[in-house]
Structure 1
Amino acid sequence: MSDTLSEQLAIAARTLARLGLTTAFGHVSARSHDSILITPAADLATVHADDLIRLRTNADDLPRGAPAEARVHLAIYRARPDVHAISRAQPPAAAAAAAAAAVGSLPLLHGQAAWLGESIPIHRSAHLLRTPALAVDAANTLGNQGALLLRGNGAVTVGPTPGIATARMTILAAACQTWLSASASGTTTPLTDDEIASWSAVADELLPRLWAHLEQAGQHPRCG
């Protein structure tokens, strides 16, 4: 893996932290061929490229220092050849939205939410994803979408790069807050299939612009 990818991963991790989408917990990973790099079990605000941990995508055991939920990263990579980066965080509105939604997915209420997929599935188990079986269950719930809400346990977003996976996490946070606010008013108007398709068509153009804006927050690590 290139130093460039390592630095992209570190910047994405620090961005998540500085945008308030993680606390002491959260991780970002990226893969290249049959290996992945993942952030350590540490405060993402302080992560440098040389702090990253390498493991094989077919690994059965996790190396020392890797987050215990690295297993869900491995399960998603094994199930999704199109995914090359994963963001794991705890948007403040995610827990409330996942708990309040009456069905198995969160409706899309604003255009950018269509960049997460056709829907936002909700994984109903609140267990920590620390075993291969639980991780595979979560990967199956994600399916072919770009984001997954974990009831009582934050969220996962995926993408072709660490930056796009992280940009999707900010969109997921906004989608949860929008749904909660609209639901409190008593009225929600989900996007139509045609509206979702029209927004999805410009995702490759506009998601990189969003990430270019967001990454300014993570360019420089905090001292200490």
Structure 2
Amino acid sequence: MDLSEDAHITTVGHVVAALGLVTAFGHVSRRTSASTYEITKLGDLATLQPEQVVSVDIEAATLPPGAPGEAWLHTEIYRARPDAGGIVRAQPESAFAVSAVTGTMHPVHGQAAWLGGPVPVWTTPRLIRSKELGAAAAATLSAVDALLLRANGAVTVGASAGIAAARMWLLDSACGVWLRAHAAGAPADLAAGDIDAWVTAAPPLLQRLWHTMVLRADQAGRSPGA
């Protein structure tokens, strides 16, 4: 499997699926120009092939045939975030739990800071299948790199689709840590300066995490009964 962070979006989808971050629902995209991106078509991310993608014009008034309805979320994030090179949309169970009980998930451990800071919750519990809802969710995401969607999973952003996938894995982990810490008491959130220090250190460590995810997904595929 391609270890590069610029791996094809269907390869990224295979990794996300193999690591249990999606079931039947989820999509991956990557920016292809200032005004276009490509996104995985409707289907099982575990089995999609490179030809099963569709190109989307960020300025178009409608989505092209084959694009998932929630491509509007990707469109509006790319519009609002010129730095975004890839997006992953998934449904880790931990994200459902955290988004049900808070409006912001503050990092309580260092790696959670690689999500860009405190993770906001978009509180409208419905599918994001319109330009208006996509724009509202993108505004809630703002400058951080992860957004919890109440009752609807999560979305993460990266310089590439591979880095966005690494952040989705981190988000699942961070949500689990947050839930356990709050169940045990009142955890100490990371201070802003500490978050900034972790964010500064993030780029090579996110690349390392993506490489590890690819290797583990490949091992899972080779396991007996997989």
CA distance, structure 2, for counterparts of residue 5 and residue 203 of structure 1: 14
CA distance, structure 1, for counterparts of residue 26 and residue 190 of structure 2: 30
SS at match of 1:158: strand
Q: Who is 1:192 aligned against? A: 191
TM-fit CA distance, 1:5: 9.1
Q: Who is 1:124 aligned against? A: 123
Gaps of 5+ in 2: 222-226
Q: Is the 8 Å Cα contact of residues 5 and 162 (structure 2) preserved in structure 1?
A: no
Q: Is the 8 Å Cα contact of residues 7 and 161 (structure 2) preserved in structure 1?
A: no
Residue 138, structure 1, aligned to residue 137, structure 2: yes
SS at match of 1:46: coil
Q: Who is 1:73 aligned against? A: 74
CA shift in 2, pair 1:206/1:17, >3 Å = same
CA shift in 2, pair 1:136/1:122, >3 Å = same
CA distance, structure 1, for counterparts of residue 168 and residue 27 of structure 2: 12
Equivalent residues, number: 216
| Correspondences of 1:1-224 after superposition (within 5 Å) | 7-33=7-33, 34-101=35-102, 104-217=103-216
Q: What amino acid is the match of 1:146?
A: D
CA distance, structure 2, for counterparts of residue 183 and residue 82 of structure 1: 33
Percent identity reads 44
Q: Is the 8 Å Cα contact of residues 182 and 188 (structure 1) preserved in structure 2?
A: yes
CA distance, structure 1, for counterparts of residue 5 and residue 211 of structure 2: 16
CA distance, structure 2, for counterparts of residue 5 and residue 185 of structure 1: 36
SS at match of 1:50: coil
TM-fit CA distance, 1:41: 0.9
TM-fit CA distance, 1:188: 1.1
TM-score, normalised relative to structure 2? 0.91
CA shift in 2, pair 1:219/1:51, >3 Å = farther
Q: What amino acid is the match of 1:53?
A: V
CA distance, structure 2, for counterparts of residue 55 and residue 28 of structure 1: 13
Q: Is the 8 Å Cα contact of residues 148 and 155 (structure 1) preserved in structure 2?
A: yes
Greater alpha carbon shift after TM alignment, 143-152 vs 27-36? 27-36
